[in-house]
Structures are given as structure tokens and as C-alpha cells.
Amino acid sequence: MSLLTVGSVAFDALETPFGKTDKIIGGAATYITLSASYFTKGNNLVAVVGGDFPKEMIGLLEDHGVDTEGLEIVADGKTFFWSGRYHEDMNTRDTLETQLNVMEHFDPTIPESYQTTEYLMLGNTVPATQKLVIERMAKRPKLVMLDTMNLWMDIAMDDLKAVLKLVDVLTINDEEARQLSGEYSLRKAAKVIMAMGPQTLIIKKGEHGALLFQADRIFFAPALPLEEVFDPTGAGDSFAGGFIGYLASTDDISFDNMKRAIIYGSAMASFCVEKFGTERLINLTQEEIKERVQQFVNLSSFEIV
């Protein structure tokens, strides 16, 4: 089945304890579509960039099977830019600069050919924009997944709550789950959040794995302990892309298949952090993904006798 991803395509400048980059390609939708491209064939993108966005990068997305008809190019505008510096522990970072540029007036247009896409991934952006996208689809997708962040809980909670009523799967991190629910226990937080709309909740815990909640069911997916985390940028989006890409490719949204999808998503995130930016995501092979998923199986399987 086809997938539509809506979100940012951007320039990032990163500093980690391992070095720093000039402006490189980033943005939630970039990581999501690249990651999903290893699973699903119909991979549609709605985003906006400025005239400064390199044609080669659009070509690279297309080489990965991403349909860029929905990628709006504002010729006299500048692409969204974010720069940040990671701390020694790689789990926390400071934003050094944010230039919204063309994202400030992003008014997503869904091309005709995308209107009946079955799987919809709303990358982290303004909640009101995410809601507009759902309303602009000719047909309600089979599955709508949304990523968000603490910023929107601080400045646009009402809009966020309005869009949450319309989605099937929400993905946030543990601190955000606590903020959104007002509960410290993640199990209690999950109940509160699922009552806000999403039937399925994924709580991402970075190096500590991820939790999948749906009604009374819980699944805990481990993260692969890595020798080195080189650059965590995009890990959450690579995870989301692998998750929904796998669901779309199998067209099975049962809880058991979501468990598998989380493992594939976790595998994609584990690749992402091995190099700067999207570098590791653009040259993966199916064989590497298969081997990585087998590492997750080895990591977490046991038998009670």
C-alpha cells in the first residue's frame, strides 16, 4: 500500500562530540521517507523547500522511489534551517538556531494522485497544519500516524489535542508522554493519552528502547546497544519511517504486525545514528536490514521452560 508523509525537509547544521557539519540535508520528512523507502514502493511526500534546496537531493529522494510531486519549491524562499549541539551523553541537545523560512507559511497541498493514500504519516510540525492535512484527504486513510514534540505542548496544546482526536497512532518520547498526560508512570500516562484519541501509542525511550501500547496490551522493544552513537539526529524519524513503511508494505495493522514494525523501525533508527545526518540511510541494503533485525531477535529472545 502507498504511504504519504507530510513534514519538514530542511537543512541542519550539527555539532556532536565527534565533529561538526556544514549545512546538510535534514528534516523529519526526509528521514521518514528515506527510511520507509526500504519497505514500501508508493512513497509520497508533501513538504516545502526554498529555491536554495539542491536539485541533487530531490534526485536522491526520487532514486529511493519517493514521489516528489507534492514537494513545493518556493523559488524565492529559503529552506527551513535548524542547527544544534549535542551534549557528551548524546541524549540531550541545545538548539543553536532555528530559521523557519518557507515553513512559516506552509500550507500543504495534497496532489490529486495522493488523495487516496492508505497510510498517512504526519511528521513533527505545527499541529494545526497536521490537522489540515487529514481534512484535505479525499478519503480518510486506513492508518494515520502522528509525531509531535514538547514545543507544541507548550505553545499549542489545544490544537494538538484537536488533531489527536483524529489519529490512530501517536509517537512521542517518554518525557513528552509525561508532559502530555501529567502522569509520571508511563503505564498510567499511556491510558490518559489513548483516551485523547489515538488507539495506539508508541513511547520512544532512545537508548532504552520503545513501548507500544494498545488497549490493555503492551510490547517492549529493546534498542540495540551500540558501540558508538555518532549522531542521533533523525533517529526518531527513521524509526517512524521504518514502522509505518513496514505496516504499509504488509498492509496489516494487527497488534502482532505492529510489534514487528517496531523492530524494523528500531533497526532503521540504529542505522541512522551510525553516521552524520542521512548518510547511513541512503546506502542500506536489504541484506543489512535483515541482519540487523536478526540482531534484535538475538538480543531479546528467551524461552521459559
Residues 168-207 within binding reach of a copy of itself (CB under 8 A): 184-188, 205
Q: Enumerate residues 6+ apart whose C-beta is below 8 A from 108.
A: 6, 46, 48, 70, 129, 132, 133, 136
Among 65, 84, 197, 209, binds a copy of itself (CB under 8 A): 209
Contact 95, 82 (CB under 8 A): yes
* Spatial distance between the Cα atoms of 163 and 166, rounded to a whole number of angstroms: 5
Which stretch, 133-141, 164-172, 223-231, 281-289, contacts a copy of itself (CB under 8 A)? 223-231
Q: Is 89 in the site for a copy of itself (CB under 8 A)?
A: yes
Q: How far is the CB of 258 from a copy of itself (least distance, A)?
A: 10
Which stretch, 23-31, 52-60, 133-141, 289-297, contacts a copy of itself (CB under 8 A)? 289-297
Among 109, 115, 254, 300, binds a copy of itself (CB under 8 A): 300
Q: Is 93 in the site for a copy of itself (CB under 8 A)?
A: no
Q: Is 41 in the site for a copy of itself (CB under 8 A)?
A: no
Q: Is 268 in the site for a copy of itself (CB under 8 A)?
A: no
Among 218, 254, 283, 291, binds a copy of itself (CB under 8 A): 218
* Spatial distance between the Cα atoms of 198 and 207, rounded to a whole number of angstroms: 25
Q: Is 256 in the site for a copy of itself (CB under 8 A)?
A: yes
Contacts 24+ apart (CB under 8 A), 202-208: 202/169, 202/170, 202/171, 202/172, 202/243, 202/262, 203/172, 203/173, 203/174, 203/177, 204/171, 204/172, 204/173, 204/174, 204/236, 204/239, 205/173, 205/174, 206/91, 206/173, 206/232, 206/235, 207/91
Q: 23 or 93: whose CB is closer to a copy of itself?
A: 93
Which stretch, 100-108, 155-163, 164-172, 227-235, contacts a copy of itself (CB under 8 A)? 227-235
Among 229, 235, 240, 281, binds a copy of itself (CB under 8 A): 229
Q: How far is the CB of 209 from a copy of itself (least distance, A)?
A: 7
Q: How far is the CB of 44 from a copy of itself (least distance, A)?
A: 26
Q: How far is the CB of 246 from a copy of itself (least distance, A)?
A: 11
* Spatial distance between the Cα atoms of 100 and 163, rounded to a whole number of angstroms: 22
CA angle 268, 176, 231 (to 5 degrees): 35
- Distance between first and last Cα of the chain: 40
* Spatial distance between the Cα atoms of 156 and 128, rounded to a whole number of angstroms: 9
Q: How far is the CB of 293 from a copy of itself (least distance, A)?
A: 6
Q: Is 211 in the site for a copy of itself (CB under 8 A)?
A: yes
Q: How far is the CB of 158 from a copy of itself (least distance, A)?
A: 27
Q: How far is the CB of 30 from a copy of itself (least distance, A)?
A: 27
Residues at the interface with a copy of itself (CB under 8 A): 88-90, 184-188, 205, 208-209, 211, 217-222, 225-229, 256, 259-260, 262-263, 293-294, 297-305
